[in-house]
Every structure is written in structure tokens, then in C-alpha cells.
Amino acid sequence: MADAFDYDLFVIGGGSGGVRAARVAAGEYGAKVALAEDDRYGGTCVIRGCVPKKLMVFASEYASMPQEASAYGWDIQAGPFDWQRFKAKLNAELDRLEGVYRKLLSGSGVETFDQRATLKDAHTVELADGTTKTAKHILVATGGHPVRPDLPNADLGIVSDDIFHLEQLPKSILIVGGGYIACEFACIFNGLGVEVTQYYRGAQVLRGFDDEARGLVAESMIENGVDLHLGTNIVEMARASDGATTASGSGPIWVKSTNGSEKTFDLVLFATGRDPSTHKMGLEEIGVKQGRRGEILVNEYSQTDVPSVYAIGDVTDRVNLTPVAIREGMAFVQTVFGGRPTPVDHDLIPSAIFTQPEMGTVGLSEEQAREREEVEIYCTSFKPMQSSFAGQSHRVLMKLVVSKATRVVLGCHIVAPNAGELIQLVGIAVKAGLTKEQFDATCAVHPTMSEELVTMRNPLRSA
């Protein structure tokens, strides 16, 4: 099937999107496929993103359980968190998952190269050892990487990739940033007993998400012990002179902020953005167009200006979520090898932020919706039964954004424990274009938090 080429498809990048595309093209369509990966198979999500982060979320949530259990009649004594024990188990799990990815590829007949690959021309890739391979189609799926800010001594801080390699937990940490990665790790470290300070230069964390929902997340973070400073950034940072050894393996870090304060931290984490991993890949030389941050520009079929070269996932900087990369990979295979041109659907993608409490969202925020049309807002915030009984002040939020004209639910936003699980199911209804009346016609499951989504009869406001 490869004809004059070594392969029908050569995939650069062994993350979730690249692996899915490679194994489906080979296993289901009989294509001759190769894949090159210069790091660990599984990519950002499996090795240094979603999976280890979520396991750390789980670990951090146990801290509050003894206190809550006491209100329910249990005598559970809290002990210290053992980072070394957790880290050993975490690394074993990541090794297992990487093995699964390798088996999926080999079982599908994909040839793999454990080295960096770059593009030499429209049909040729060059491996790090100097050998070249030709392919009818080339798929770039190299993902993204965290970046440090342009700040003197920024190398003293770490980025999200480094967290899972810490030899020990810091006693104190400064997290710089206000996106979901910054907020998630602020909650994680706080739950693990670290003294957490967070600086964000904006007026509120989680920019781009629904204002009401992100406001409750910020309030909850502060209530849980995160020292959150908005409108604040680093002015200067330097290695402190007391010579103590910290989690980073060297002395503490002195930081001066824009609010005038000076403080010393064991560790500084920069969660200030990610860039596509396209540096020195030969893209420009062969005519593949890129955006200002290096993202590969593609059409609705993930095809670049060079017809034989495609790109999926974070390297295209469209919607940087693992399930999206996987769907883009599937659409690519259906288009190129299945004979069914399949555009990528980026509309109404549910997502979750694993803060404490979690935030789940799908569709338009209130702010986005009211710029398009008149909407009604159905919203409630309350103490859930489990927390209320335990004497805790935690609140949850359930919110629906509804079109006045069509009654279609344009967006749903949930801030609550397990919001990620809830928004997956609500996402089906919103994707299907259901109306508020169809939500109301669904019988409530009682007693649950989520029953509020089908029992809010009167709009809180119009916008």
C-alpha cells in the first residue's frame, strides 16, 4: 500500500492523538505506519499532565476527610502525607501506562523509533541518527510544552513538567499564573499540606470561563487556605542567601512582587502558559505555515498548506485537550485512509478544571452568550447536604444559560465536587441542543446536588 514510499503514514509524536491516529490507520485500515517519539510514549497527558495530576488531586483530597468523617461518627486520625511512597506508586503507574501505549502500537503493526524526527521535505522525515524515511502522508503530533516568563532568574523556578520529579515536597510554594494549571496545582499543594501563595496579574483567575463560576472557585480556594493575590506579579526574584536546601535541591527563592511585598519561598512554579512544540522541526523550510507562537496552521481537516503534511493536537493550538487531540486523530484517519472527509468538530466541548471544588463547563458562558443574543440565567448556589451536615461552609453552583428566543440551553456551568463527572453527562444534552423545557421535563434524582439542573423553574435574571 505504501507504493513508492517507505510508509503510508509517518507520525511524529507519541502522545494520545498521534498514537490513536497511528494505530487506527494501521490496525483498521491496513496502512503501513511508523511513529517517532523522542521522550516517553503517552505524551503530556499520560506522563506529565492529566493522569499524574489527577492522581495528585486524589491524594490531596484525603486531607479533609478525617474532619468530615468525625461529623459522621467516625474516628479517623490524620497522619502526615508521605510524598516518597506516593511518588513511587505514581511512577509505577506511569510506567504501566507507557507500556500499554507501546503495546497498542506494536499490536497494530506500527513501527516505532525512539528518537526525535524532523521534516526534510513534504514526504521525508529525518531521524536523530541521520537516517531518513519517506511517507505518503506525515502527521505532526508533537504537542506543547510549558514556558517560563521573560524575567531575570526565571530559571530558578520550575514548570509543570518538573513537579512529578520533585525529590521532596516544599514547605512553601509560590505559584505564578491564573489558568487552570496554576489553580489546580495551588489546590493540590494546599491539600498536601504545603503553604501556597498564588500570584495572578489579572483581575480574576480562570480567564475565559464563566465569571460567576470562576468567582466561586477563587472564593473556595481562599477559604481552603490558598493565599491568592490578584493583580499581582513578580518584579524580581533571586536565590536567597541563607543556604538552606529545599525541595528544588538548592536554597530558597526571594521574590519581590508588584504589590511591594518581599517574601521567600522554597519553590516557585511558573504556570504562565504553554507553547506548541515546533522548534527546529523543519516546518518553515518545507513551507508549513505557523502562527506567531509557533502553532501549525491547518484547515478543518487538520491539513497544512503542504498537502501531504497534517497536524493534530496541542501543536495546532486549537482546543488543547486530550480528548480533542484523539478526535482530531480519528477525523484525520477517516479523511485520509477511510475515504470519508471528516472535518473536526470543535463545537460544544465539555471540560473540567480539577480545583477543589471542581468546575465543569460546556457551551457559552453568561458573558459570551449575552454578546450574541438575549438570554435567561438560571442559577443556584447552596451548601450540599454532605458538607452542610458536617458543619462545613463549602458551597456549590449550578448554572444554565438559556436562549430567550429558542429556549435552547447554550451553556452549563457547575462548581461542585465531581463536577467533571456531571458535566460529561450534561454535555450530551447541550450538544444535542435540548431546551430548558426538556431539562425541566426530566425527573429529578433526589437527594442529589445535580437535581437542581432540572428543578430551577424561574430565571435568576435576564441578560
User: What residues are annotated to the active site?
Assistant: 446
Residue bearing cell 429556549: 407
Q: In the structure grid, which three cell numbers stand for residue 28, read together? A: 483498521
Own/partner contacts of 212-218, CB < 8 Å, gap of 24 or more, are 212/366, 212/379, 212/397, 212/399, 212/413, 213/359, 213/361, 213/365, 213/397, 213/399, 213/413, 213/414, 213/415, 214/359, 216/381, 216/395, 216/397, 216/415, 217/183, 217/353, 217/355, 217/357, 217/359, 217/415
Peptide bond into 52 cis (omega under 30): no
* Cα–Cα distance for residue pair 434/412, rounded to 1 Å: 12
Query: Are residues 376 and 370 in contact, defined by beta-carbon separation less than 8 angstroms?
Result: no
In this structure, are residues 21 and 101 in contact, taking their beta carbons and an 8 Å threshold? no
| CB-CB contact of 348 with 431 (8 Å) | yes
Closest CA to 16 of 49, 55, 38, 58: 49
Residues in the chain: 463
C-alpha distance from residue 137 to each of 5, 107, 310 (Å): 9, 21, 8
CB contact at 8 A, 9 and 39: no
Nearest to 373 by CA among 406, 399, 347: 406
Contact 83, 55 (CB under 8 A): no
> Which alpha helices (DSSP H) does 358-406 contain, by range?
366-372, 385-389
- CB of 3 within 8 A of CB of 130? no
Q: How far is CA 321 from the centre of its chain?
A: 6
Q: How far apart are CA 366 and CA 455, in angstroms?
A: 19
Its sign, for the CA torsion 113, 118, 124, 126, is negative
Distance CA 153, CA 176 (A): 14
- Look at residue 174 and give its three-state secondary structure: strand
> Is residue 411 within 8 Å of 366, Cβ to Cβ?
yes
